[in-house]
Amino acid sequence: MNKKIEELKKELSKAIVSQEYMIEGLLIGLLCEGHILVEGVPGLAKTTTVNALSRALSLAFKRIQFTPDLLPSDITGTQIYDPQSNDFRVKKGPLFANLLLADEINRAPSKVQSALLEAMQERQVTIGDESFPLEQPFLVMATQNPIEQEGVYTLPEAQLDRFMMKLVVGHNKPEDELLIMRKAATKSFGKVESIMGREDILELQGELEKVHIDTQLERYIIDLIVATREPEKFGLAGIKELIFFGASPRASIDLYRASRAKAFLRGKSHVTPADIGFVIHDVLRHRIVLSYEARAKGTTSDEVISQILKAVPIP
């Protein structure tokens, strides 16, 4: 593993117990300039994790609590009238940060959710008739609570597709929760210090480009994506009725990038089929639209992905 990554994980462990899966997902997003959607019940240190990451990396961090009465301008910013100059000036919103936590994103209506689209895709924000580029790196980590059914607005497929990965975070192991309880009760969590900066992150992104991926594995990635659209080509006619829409071309791009980042975090100079297997569920689970039959049977997208992973031949 890269020495800087090791130091970063060690620093984060001062404030976070366990949650290696979520931390690694955020690091993959940061290295690949992708955005992360995290699904999990309250109290799993989602806010703490991204806040600690921003401190360790000396990055600007902002948090937006999504609510039904939120307006797009509350996120992007707006033009306000300045009586002294008799003119309008721009007041920038919380989108202008390096790490943005969009907390409970599904609590706000679609017009507010869509205010993030330009920033996530184009890395810029338009206020009035002027566009402002966002400082790099820029990462959106959005959270949603899976147990809420009332007062929530489902994210449309087009917006879900903008997220590089969807992480499903569960409860800690009992021994980890015991440690968390003790540390919280005695206020013994350590203070996260800044150990890296923007230049270090850009350098790591440059090192990621050196990770080799063989042409056969590139073809393997394409086959996995095509199997979500035309499963019968891979002997999976039985799951065709379970899939309403397969993964988009963004999925193949993100699976390629995420598998390279996974190999890099494992300290390897090349991608293996195992690296692809490690990240495929996170990259595809929010991009496969299941049919009514699948939902009626209780089939999950993770189960469909696992069947595809078994059926597509490994080079």
Provide the 8-state DSSP code for 311: H
Structural contact between residues 9 and 23, judged by C-beta atoms closer than 8 angstroms: yes
The enclosing H or E element of 182 equals helix 174-186
User: What's the longest Cα–Cα distance across the chain?
Assistant: 71
What pLDDT does residue 120 have?
87
The CATH code of domain 3-183 reads 3.40.50.300
What pLDDT does residue 3 have?
81
| pTM for the structure as a whole | 0.89
Structural contact between residues 195 and 56, judged by C-beta atoms closer than 8 angstroms: yes
Spatial distance between the Cα atoms of 282 and 302, rounded to a whole number of angstroms: 9
Spatial distance between the Cα atoms of 194 and 45, rounded to a whole number of angstroms: 19
What mean pLDDT do residues 18-34 have? 89
Give the pLDDT confidence of 74-119 residue by residue, as tens digits.
888 888 877 877 787 888 888 898 888 888 888 888 888 888 888 8
Spatial distance between the Cα atoms of 146 and 181, rounded to a whole number of angstroms: 24
Q: Tell me whether the CATH fold assigned to 3-183 matches the one assigned to 207-311.
A: no
Q: So where are the chain's domains? A: 3-183, 207-311
What pLDDT does residue 259 have?
96
Give the pLDDT confidence of 132-163 residue by residue, as tens digits.
888 888 899 888 877 665 557 777 777 888 89
Q: Which residues contact 272 (CB under 8 A, 6 or more apart)?
A: 217, 263
Structural contact between residues 312 and 221, judged by C-beta atoms closer than 8 angstroms: no
Directed axis angle between helix 215-229 and helix 273-284, to 10°?
A: 30
181 half-sphere exposure, CB direction, 13 A CA radius: 7
What pLDDT does residue 212 have?
94
The CATH code of domain 207-311 reads 1.10.8.80
Strand partners, 64: 102
**Average model confidence (pLDDT) across the chain:** 87
Spatial distance between the Cα atoms of 186 and 105, rounded to a whole number of angstroms: 32
